[in-house]
Amino acid sequence: MSTPATAADAARSISSTQSPRVHRVEIHPTAHAGDPRADTLLSRAASLGFGLEGAHSSRIYLIEADLSDAQLDLIVSQLLCNPVVEHAEIGASEPRGSIVEIHPLPGVMDPPAQSVADAIQSLTGVRAVVSTGYRYDLIGVSDAQAQNMAARLLANPVVAGVHALPFHPEQLPKGHSHEFKLTHVNIRDLDDAGLEKLSREGHLFLSLEEMQAIQNEYRTLNREPTDIELETLAQTWSEHCVHKTLKATINYTGPAIEGIDFASRPHHEVNADGSVTINNLLKATVAAATFELIDEGIDWTQSVFVDNAGIIKFDDKHSVCIKVETHNHPSALEPYGGAATGIGGCIRDIIGTGLAAKPIASTDVFCVAHPDTRDRVFVPETGDLKPSGDCVLSIVDLLHGDKVYTARYGERASNGWRELLVYRGLRAEDGHKEFEENPLPAEEWYPKHLQRVKERERTQPDGGWGFEHRYEKGIPAGCLPPRQILTQVVAGVRDYGNRMGIPTINGAVSFDQRYIGNPLVYCGCIGIMPSNLISGSAKPGDRIIALGGRTGRDGIHGATFSSAELTDTHADEFSHAVQIGNAIEEKRTLDAILRARDAVGGPLFSAITDCGAGGFSSAVGEMGEKIGAFVELDKAPLKYAGLSYTEIWISEAQERIVIAVPEKNLPALQQICDEEHVELANLGYFGTDGAQLILNYNNHEVGRLPMHFMHDGIPMSTRTAVWQPKATQPTTPTGTATSANEQVLALLAHPNIASKHWIVRQYDHQVQGNTVIKPLNGPRGIGPSDASVIEPVPGTGQGLAVACGLATGLSDDPYAMTLAAIDECVRNLVCTGTDPDRIAILDNFCWPSCKKPENLGSLVRAAHACYDGAKAYRTPFVSGKDSLNNQFTTESGETIEIPPTLLITGMGIVHDLDTCITSDAKSPGNTLVLVGQPQSKLSGSHAHQLGFVQSNGMPSVDLHAGPAIARAVYGLIQQGLVRSAHDVSDGGVACAIAEMLIAASTADAPIGFSADPSLDWSIAFDESPSCYVLEVEEIDAIRAALGDMPLRTLGTLNDTGRMHWDQLHAGVDELTDAWRSPLDW
């Protein structure tokens, strides 16, 4: 391939009569360079039992432009191909196996394509339209198997198309100009059934009462609403935006909570029948606790519940802010994009706080079903532990080709049934059979007509198949496999955070089968700002300026979609609600905003907020709530033609920020944006007569709404909530692991407890250079940190610690669960040296539908615990979020509710970074002590989940002892009496000690533990709250400092590299392998 000497030479070589066409370029790795993408596919395919023998991958670029051969050569050689490790082919290369190509669907964000198009114009002067994709040549599988593999491992049909042949269209898809037509929606004459139908079919997801309120407003106005007005009200009044469940009046009936006098609680009224009326649950619990603490003297909170994030004082010149959001429903449909835009949106919340904060750290927490969830086939267990001959023959009849197959037993189910596993193999020349390590997916060999039976679990006496069996469908139709969800949400957070240059420093993963249809994705961000810039407001006359990304159809109806429950049809019905992110665009926008904030003479803008749920509708509507706004929708830059005025207004396309700018500052702002390559759009102005929202499109008025009706017109309903404790009976142990060694190793391998290094190592947790305690610690960097610590203002020696608490194992009693989560969050922070009197916390409720009184009752109980926990620990809530429709309805009508899940995130001040400690054990000869009182209540514990112990009641938080112990442990750390600290959490005392040893021990310097002879094994698996394992040198000094607080000696550290306690005798290497292997993907 020849290369022109210069871009000018290439430009001169093109014919002026040449018509645009699509050029296809394939970029292949050279043989010696390796093919990581194909290697990853081979590994994942093997884990699922696909018989993939080999694979090759290549990048595809489709370039639509008037290009000469010389120009195309220049683009390939200078932009697309690195000749050291890659080679290029023009057009489609010859197949090496079954071909699968993955290309983004029309309208889906394609960030690499945008970068390539910009580079082509810079290099050649030619404007090009570009689309990218990936090609895979799969060896050893049929075309049908390749398509199945692509659907499971390579592409999500919500955002990508799968092609069985090389994709080379004559032209790339283009939008068509929108033909303006003002649409009115008939609502004034609808009956109740018609209103409900309009709400559902229009994807408004408003209640009948809310639809009636809108109907009455337009009857008063004597006109029908336009479509854009109705959409504006739907997003403004959505559960996602207005939190109407938590703000509702609730009539609650439930058992008394010890120590709580509801009559003395703010906004509570006790009725004659014993029920309680709560006027605004949020105001009566979470917010009440914070404002009462402020009244009692906490003076370091600066902004709570009013901005995009909560703000607290860091030092005399700086403030720090924090926000945690959920992005559950988008992540269920498209995990990568859902998680990426989840963290991207939370970052924008920080940018849009006060007059702009700089993001300095981020967090993530994921709740998913077990990664090994799959369809399973069970057969009766025969005496010789071999599947029957009829069974094997029936399976082989279904499978063809030159392979051989065998059937084996897997896990034992109840009542004498065993899982049936099928393995594929090859017959060697000597007749010997070699079988693959991993079994085939059941859907590869189980009869297709039986797979289509809708019941989640059913028994087939023979089902026309020849032998008795039972089939369990692990993954309901419409759901993605949980391992795919987890790998993709991790990749989404990784790619967005790393590209933004923001360290991801804290997180967690929780596994529970009830998340199968509705995974939870929590994304958090922390920022810093000058203390004199913590608030702002739009002024009449300020221009409405949009910065950053262009507007497209991605994300439409995101706010209302997030307010509904998921069903098996949502992937088709709401694919438009998935947003696709571009982190580089957001980074440029951030840089421009920070320059505008720090301009000489003060910020160039009066107010700022991000385009989150509801897009421009939400951002402009919130900023102009008191003064009104006039918006020219046709001035918004679009990704492609064809968007209607309503789509422009409600799109949740990413990387967009809205600021209010005085007219005189526009030239200076424009210059900054030009220098940072950020697009600026002037959409109108703030301030209208009567504080109205006026929407124009091409000089046509398409909407006019009074701001007071938008924000105050929603009817606040009265809801019924009931809660009763679940009847439980003591259970006997059922686990197959009986020895102490087996049980501890099994606990360490539990996915909730096992190392998450596979996730952590993908994140850049040191970018910006301010991370002091990282997520993994110890000499090998493999031990789990209780919290992470950063130095927000370099050189000051003052730190900021971030941690979280999650206790879904106790979700049967949301009051106990919530207090346990608060206590865990505080423990994690204190273990690193955080001052417990300078901790702020956030609540993120994820609940199944609260239309069900029992679910709303459990939410009320959790909210009461938020009040009690915050008051007892003196940890004010500064921000929060709720997501209250987390459940999935299968095609057969079964509803799978998530467990009530409350994430508590904490942020606290470390006054002196030199006092920080970590969880890795330090020196042989030191003593491990337990501070806190085990309660010997193991219901909800991981040992109980695995069947090692009986259920005998849930542990509870002592609201007097818990805070006192936290302050006492902090005091010990400040006095330098503690060498290492680790909180007792998942897995109990034994796992806490094991993790300290795993973190510390090396081949050259092994560290072991020998338990005190008097130490009772009964506390080994105890997960009681308010317990800490401390490594100390002077035990007498600890006893003197703690006084009457519960303290017991656990044992002594040694240099054996082994852990000894009662019947437990395990090497640290063995413990490490058990802990690191399960999620070592």
Could you count the other beta carbons within 10 Å of the beta carbon of residue 671? Answer: 11
Q: For residues 32 and 250, which has the higher predicted lDDT (pLDDT)? A: 250
β-pairing verdict for 887-889 and 566-567: parallel
Are the C-beta atoms of 1025 and 954 separated by less than 8 Å? Answer: no
**Band (577; pLDDT cuts 50, 70, 90):** very low
Please answer whether residues 593 and 610 qualify as being in contact, where contact means their C-beta atoms are separated by less than 8 angstroms. Answer: no
Residue 865 sits at φ, ψ, to 5 deg, of -65, -35
pLDDT at 436: 81
Q: Which pLDDT value is given to residue 978?
A: 98
Q: What is the pLDDT of residue 391?
A: 55
pLDDT class for 437, splitting at 50, 70, 90? Answer: confident
Average pLDDT over residues 884-907: 94
Of 361-365, 650-654, 962-966, minimum mean pLDDT range: 650-654
With bands split at pLDDT 50, 70 and 90, how would you rate the model's confidence at 9? very low
Inform me whether the pLDDT recorded for 6 exceeds 60: no
Q: pLDDT tens across 936-952, in order? A: 999 999 999 999 998 88
Q: What's residue 20's pLDDT?
A: 74
**Cα separation, 237 vs 291, whole angstroms:** 26
Nearest to 51 by CA among 148, 136, 134: 148
- The reported pLDDT for the residue numbered 729 is 67
> What does the pLDDT look like over 631-643, one tens digit per residue?
999 999 998 788 8
Domain map (residue ranges) of the chain: 7-163, 195-242, 376-472
For 71-94, write each residue's pLDDT tens digit: 999 999 999 999 999 999 999 999
**The most confident of 41-50, 379-388, 520-529, 575-584, by mean pLDDT:** 520-529
Helix (H), strand (E) at residue 442:
helix 442-445
- Residue range 678-690: mean pLDDT, rounded: 98
pLDDT at 543 over 50: yes
Transcribe 499-531 into DSSP letters.
HHT--EEEEEEEE-GGGSSS-EEEEEEEEEEEG
Residue 252, number of CB atoms within 10 A of its CB: 25
Does pLDDT of 329 surpass 80?
yes
Q: How confident is the model at residue 450 (pLDDT cuts 50, 70, 90)?
A: low
3-class DSSP assignment, residue 1076 = helix
- Of 804, 768, 767, nearest to 788 by C-alpha is 804
Task: Give the chain's length.
Answer: 1081
Nearest to 820 by CA among 836, 829, 808, 837: 808
Percent of all residues in the chain with a pLDDT value above 90, rounded to a whole number = 74
Residue 154 DSSP one-character state: I
Give the per-residue pLDDT at 573. Answer: 40
> What's the N-to-C CA distance of the chain in angstroms?
41
Residue 903's pLDDT band (boundaries 50, 70, 90)?
A: very high
Is 36's pLDDT higher than 60?
yes
- Under 8 Å CB-to-CB from 488, ≥6 apart: which residues? 156, 335, 336, 339
Residues 124-174: tens digit of each pLDDT: 999 999 999 999 999 998 898 899 888 878 887 777 889 999 999 999 887
Q: What is the pLDDT of residues 93-115, one digit of tens each?
A: 999 999 999 999 887 778 899 89
Instruction: Kindly indicate the confidence band of residue 461, based on its pLDDT and cuts at 50, 70 and 90.
Output: low
**In whole numbers, what is the pLDDT of the chain averaged over residues?**
90
Q: What is the pTM of this model?
A: 0.89
At 441 the pLDDT is 79
Question: pLDDT band at residue 420, thresholds of 50, 70 and 90?
Answer: confident
Lowest mean pLDDT segment, chosen from 354-363, 614-623, 890-899: 890-899
Q: Phi, psi (5° rounding) for residue 423?
A: -115, 140
The highest-confidence range among 427-436, 445-454, 932-941, by mean pLDDT, is: 932-941
- The pLDDT confidence band at residue 849, using thresholds 50, 70 and 90, is very high
Q: Name residue, tokens 């956030």.
A: 842
| pLDDT tens profile 737-777 | 779 999 999 999 999 999 999 999 999 999 999 999 999 99
Distance separating alpha carbons of residues 336 and 72, to the nearest angstrom: 32
- Give the mean model confidence (pLDDT) for residues 1030-1051: 97
Burial class (CB in 10 A: 0-12, 13-18, 19+), 667: exposed
**How far apart are alpha carbons 470 and 380 in whole angstroms?**
9
SS3 of 451-482: the string is HCCCCCEEEECCCCCCCCEEEECCCCCCCCCH
Measured from the Cβ of residue 739, the count of other Cβ atoms closer than 10 Å reads 11
Q: What is the dihedral of CA 412, 418, 424, 430, to 10 degrees?
A: 90
The yes-or-no verdict on residue 60 having pLDDT over 90 is: yes
The set of long-range contacts for 208-215, using a CB threshold of 8 Å and a minimum separation of 24, is 209/715, 209/717, 210/237, 210/714, 210/715, 211/187, 212/715, 213/713, 213/714, 213/715, 214/187, 215/187, 215/188, 215/190
Q: What CA–CA distance (Å, rounded) separates 583 from 491?
A: 13
Give the whole-angstrom CA distance, residue 573 versus residue 560: 13
For residues 90 and 9, which has the higher predicted lDDT (pLDDT)? 90
CA nearest to 1079, candidates 757, 748, 764, 785: 757
Distance from C-alpha of 414 to C-alpha of 398, rounded to nearest angstrom:
28
In SS3 terms, 612-659 reads as CCCCHHHHHHHHCCCCCEEEEHHHCCECCCCCCHHHHHHCCCCCEEEE
With beta carbons less than 8 A apart as the criterion, state whether 944 and 752 touch. no
Which CATH fold would you assign to the domain 7-163?
Mth169; Chain: A , (3.30.1280)
**Residue range 1048-1066: average pLDDT?**
97
Query: What's the pLDDT tens digit per position in 996-1014?
Result: 999 999 999 999 999 999 9
What is the pLDDT, as a whole number, of residue 2? 38
Instruction: Count the Cβ atoms, other than its own, within 10 Å of residue 569.
Output: 12
